[in-house]
Structure 1
Amino acid sequence: MQKPILAALALCLPALFACSSAPPPVTTVTIKEVELVKIAPPAHLTQNCYEPELQGHKWLDGIALSEARKLALYECNKQLEKLRADIATQLSTND
């Protein structure tokens, strides 16, 4: 019983492959030159941010420290904004 089924399958296989479409042609792309552009941010923008320390031991000194840290955080964020803007400018001029 298996031999007739195998024979029938053997006869059908060439017909199945004859109906398939041809593969698309292969296109070759050659890269001739690659330019590597290094972007370095200005050194003054990559320095560590100022970190205020506690001066004194009274509760008013703690409030002053809180205000000094708030100001330091604001200045650090401004520094980061400038850095992002400089990098964006360099990227747009390299395109």
Structure 2
Amino acid sequence: MIVSTGKFTYSKQSKCFVAEASDIESDVQPLFHQIYPDTCDIGITLISHRSETEVTYFLNETFRDRENEVQYWTLLPTPESERKVPTCRGTFVRIFND
């Protein structure tokens, strides 16, 4: 899934893109997609609403509460994205499960 950064709130201080799953999930596409054809790694691709640069983030962490329900996911840029778009280094995505 490719999602515009315009659907996220960005914090320059923490370098974090934040959104709620319902704001970016589509009825047609799941929240995450398979990043590489030969692995089970999943993630999301963000496209800048300003520069149209694409950065793919991989699922790094799933935070669950005491009832084992997902509270949020944290995603980091893939090494390939960091090479192609050095400005994405240190950024991350946090998607809350609402």
TM-score (norm 2): 0.20
Structure (1 or 2) with the larger CA radius of gyration = 1
Tell me which protein shows more strand as a share of its residues.
2
Tell me which protein shows more helix as a share of its residues.
1
TM-score (norm 1): 0.20
